[in-house]
Structure formats: structure tokens, C-alpha cells
Chains A and B, each alone.
Chain A
Amino acid sequence: MIVVENLTHQYGSRLALSNVSFEVGKGEIFGLLGPNGGGKSTLFRILSTMMSPTAGRAVVAGFDVARDPAGVRRRAGVVFQTQSLDKSLSVEENLRSQGHLHGLSGHVLRERIDRAVKQLGLGDRRNDLVESLSGGLRRRVEIAKALLHRPQVLLMDEASTGLDPAARRDLSNHIESLRSEDGVTILLTTHILEEAGRCDRLVLLHQGKIVAQGSPDELRSRIGGDVVVLKSANTAALTQGIEQRFGLAPKIMDGQVRVEIKNGHRFIAEVVEAFPGAIESVALNKPTLEDVFVHETGVSIE
């Protein structure tokens, strides 16, 4: 549904995207994960036809974004990071304007609005002015708006930014039901790990390049083991002790000692016995996408 081939984009002399290639299949929820400035927004702007790439090719729903942006615009819905609603209009008025922009009118438009409003649980708010809605509700209106013309592809830029965890969970349930009920293909950009973890597949973008791609599980398995996190009153001494005794390379992150190791449960038993009293708490974690990002790039996503 989306094909990106050797996509490169330069702002003047600054390289924002470098030879990016990936494909997204029909009905997939696909994530672009990376830190701000990693190239996600540039890629999003190109896919949503807001600008043309300087080199390479991107095809959305069968249409080339640079050569046939009108074709893409008819088949893709776009949800922006910033608000694209008119605050002084009501929910329904916003939806109606959007329908008109897509050439919809009359009873077809009314039915589409009814359905979108219902699908995103906005029924009782449809006559309220957008300025009276909470951030989470506004996001849902944005999505309802992007769905009116029944797009095959939904492009979402940092859609959960500024939402509290409950609203974020709620949003991802809506996204999941769009895929399962309507078969919409969804591409989203995010720097939130939890959200990335719910995608079917991901690319990790760093400095305009893809550093890894695959399903969240595939990516996590690249670490090859567990992550053991130890809390200690004296992290430096503990780190040194583990280096000497086990020949490992622990890292200190956020004031805790982190060790990447296979069969973490055995290591825990040994390390607690080896340094009695030095360890306050122990956690055995499966690797997170953050761990993967750190592993591939040496820097943190945040």
C-alpha cells in the first residue's frame, strides 16, 4: 500500500533523509520511530504530499507522491501533529467543510459524518465548538475528519502527542478498530515507545537513515537476551565489581546499573550472592525498543 524507494531529501545542504526504503502492506499498522530531528517529519511531509522529495520515489495507494499528488490525496487521510481543526466551528461544521473539500455533499456526506462520529465516539459532542473539547477529543475529531473520504491509507504524525495515558490508549484502540473493521492501512510517526510497540512493523530512523526495521519482537530479539537492572547505593563500585567478576560490560543509565545478558535469571542469582548487601533491588526485563535503539545507535530516543 506504501512503497518507499531510496528516498532522499535535502533542505539546502542539510541531508534530512538518506536512501530510505521500506514497504507497507495492506491493513498493516506501520510505525516510524525515532527521536525528533531523525527524519520522521520530513518523511511524513513527503508521504502526505506537502512537499516533493529531492530524490527517490514514494508511492502511496498506487500513486506517486511527486507526480500524482492529487491521486494520493484522494486515497490517503492525513492526521497532523498540530491541530488542523477550526476552533471556532463545531465538530460537525469542521467535518462538513472537510467533506466539501473532498467533493462530498448531500446525503452521502451526512451518512459519512454520522458514521465517523459514531466510530470515534463523538456522537454527543457533534454540535459543540471545537474550542470546548479536550485534547483527546480533538484528536478523535481530527481522525474522524481524515476518514470522511474513506481513505485506504491513514497517515498520522505524532498523533498522541500531548495526550494523557488514558486518551492515548483510547486512541490506539480506535486505530486498531479502523484496521480490523475497515482494513485501513495505517502509517504513524512516533517517539513514544509504548505506541511503537503496538505497531505490526516498525522502522527506526536516526539522522535520516533507517537503522533497523522489523516487528517489535524481531527488533527486541536483536539484543539477544535479557536486560537486568540493578539498583545500588554505590553504582560505580557495583559496575566495577561486575566487570571484574563476570567479565561483562554494564552501563550506568538513570543512576542504575544495566546489564545485557542471556539467561538473566541465573545472572541475578549469582550477582546477588557475589555482592551481598550492595544491591537494593533487581529487575529482570525483556529488552525494550529503547534498548534496541540504544543498541543500534548508541544514543537514546528521548
Chain B
Amino acid sequence: MSNFFLPAATLWQRELVRFWRQKSRLLGVIASPLVIWLLIGYGSNSLGRFYSGALVLTVMFSAIFSTISIIEDRREGFLLSMLVSPAPRTSMVLGKILGAATLAWIQGLIFLAFAPLAGLKITLEELLSAAGAIFLVSFTLTGLGFLIAWKMESTAGFHAIMNLLLLPMWMVSGALFPLSEAHGWVKGLMWVNPLTYGISLVNHTLRYPVVTPGTQVSLLVTLVFGLGLLLACGMLAARKSTRSAA
């Protein structure tokens, strides 16, 4: 068993130590969602409405930053020695995703400090459930980033996917307008977008009034999506290949 958890733990720890040594990353990840939030929020006099969206954007940026390193790591870096070590690929996937998710989570928590600005008064109980919700969202977004990054040859390709898939996914997740106000086919998109449920879950825990989807549905969809992604990442990384992994 130690052969499964030890590699996962060491990778998790590595993510944290690296992050701690490059604290400037923190600024990059939090600053731009903060600016976006303040501009849209003050501009439309509705800071509260865009708060959870901006928080999730912070988490998303962090997840993207962390998983993008997989691409460089595999060509030249730490991932190479992981690939030829006896540690199970699934334990590496778990360690990497948990590490990156923890970072995204910490940054999401830091963003929580701005909640009073959004007019939200959070009790300790709400804070704890919000922390849980943010972790789930961090985990799913990191899993998604991993899945995309694993097969990528270049970081340029990752940026293209980010602009074409991840950002639009965020836009139609309830971050900019709630599901109840959406129209036509975009509304349909929002219903099938897993991130809609993540944002809704964060809103529910912060007691921000959301009608649909409900708390339990949001929790269930986010959990299933996260575990599904973890499984997919594990299977992808464990595949044998006659093409080089690096």
C-alpha cells in the first residue's frame, strides 16, 4: 500500500513546495479574476452576483497553471523519472491532481476573504461548507486540465483549448448570468455544463439566492463529474503505448 500512497503523497507535497517557492504565481492567479470581478461588479452595481463566478475563475486559472506544467514536465522534467519508476500511474495521477487541486483550493479560499465586499456575511458553518464546495470544484477543474494536458504536445495547444473550451465553459456556468435568466440553446448548454453545478454549489453554501439547480443535485453532479474525470485520467495515464510517452 505504501507503494501507492507514498508516490502520491510525494507528488502532492512537491506541488505545494514549488508553489510556496514561487509565491508570485499567487498574484497572477488571483489578480485577474479580482479585476474582472471588480470591473463588472462595480460597473453593473452587482458585486454579489458575480462573486462566485470570479471565485471559480480563480480556481480555474490555478488549475490551468498547475496542469499546464505536465506538458513541460513530460518533455523535460520530473515527469520523465516518474514514468520509468515502478510507482503505479494511477498513484501519480492522484498525487498530481490532488496537489494541483489543493493549490487551487487555497487560492479559492483566499478569494473568500473578499466575500464581505460582495455583501455576503458568512458564518463559520457556511465558511466550512463553502470550503468543501470550493475543494470539489478545484478537484474537477484540475482533473479536466489534466485530461486535456496529458496528450498535448505543446503548451500553445493548451492555450487554444483553454480559450475555446474552458473559458466559454465558465461563461455559460452561471458565472455571468444565472440559469434562470438564460435563453434558448445557451440555456440548454448551461444545463449540460458540469461547471453550472459547481458554481451553483458554491452559491448555495454561501447562501447566495439560487433557484436552480438545487443543492443536492449540484453536489451530486459535481462529485460524479470529479470522480469520472479522475477515473478517465487514471485510465489515460496507465495506457501502454508503442509511441513514446515522452
Contacts and interface: CB of A to CB of B under 8 A. Distances in A.
B243 interface: yes
Interface string B9-41: 111001001100110000000000000000000
Contacts of B17: 88-89, 93
Contacts of A11: 243
Interface string B78-116: 101111111100000000000000000000000000000
Interface stretch (A75-83, A199-207, A212-220): A75-83
A257 to B, nearest CB: 44
Interface string A174-194: 000000000000000000000
B245 interface: yes
Interface residues of A, number: 34
A159 B23 CA distance: 33
B75 interface: yes
Contacts of B21: 88
A51 B243 contact: yes
A54 B207 CA distance: 58
Given A97-B10, A100-B9, A50 B84 contact: yes
A40 interface: no
B126 interface: no
B45 interface: no
Given A51-B245, A93-B17, A98 B81 contact: yes
A54 B242 contact: yes
A118 interface: no
Interface stretch (A101-109, A164-172, A223-231, A233-241): A101-109
Contacts of B86: 70, 73-74, 101-103
A86 interface: yes
Nearest to A79: B81
B80 A84 contact: yes
Interface string A125-136: 000000000000
Interface residues of B, number: 31
Interface string B210-246: 0000000000000000000000000000001111111
**By CB atoms of chain B within 10 A, which of A84, A86, A96, A145 has the most?**
A84
B77 interface: yes
Nearest to A155: B84
B163 interface: no
B3 interface: yes
A70 B240 CA distance: 12
A82 B6 contact: no
A50 B10 contact: no
B7 interface: yes
B153 interface: no
Nearest to B76: A82
Contacts of A84: 76-78, 80-81
A22 to B, nearest CB: 21
A101 B7 contact: yes
Contacts of A102: 85-87
A110 interface: no
Contacts of A53: 242
Contacts of B10: 96-97, 100-101
A49 interface: yes
Nearest to B2: A103
B18 A105 contact: no
A73 B84 CA distance: 6
Nearest to B14: A97
A105 B6 contact: yes
A52 B245 CA distance: 10
A49 B83 CA distance: 8
A105 B3 CA distance: 10
A52 B241 contact: yes
B245 A50 contact: yes
The 9 closest A-B pairs by CB, nearest first: A100-B10, A101-B85, A82-B76, A103-B3, A73-B86, A84-B80, A84-B81, A101-B87, A51-B244
Given A85-B77, A105-B2, 7 more contacts: A50-B84, A73-B86, A78-B81, A86-B18, A88-B18, A97-B10, A100-B10
15 contacts: A45-B244, A45-B246, A48-B84, A50-B246, A52-B241, A53-B242, A74-B86, A78-B84, A84-B77, A84-B78, A84-B81, A89-B18, A97-B14, A98-B81, A103-B2
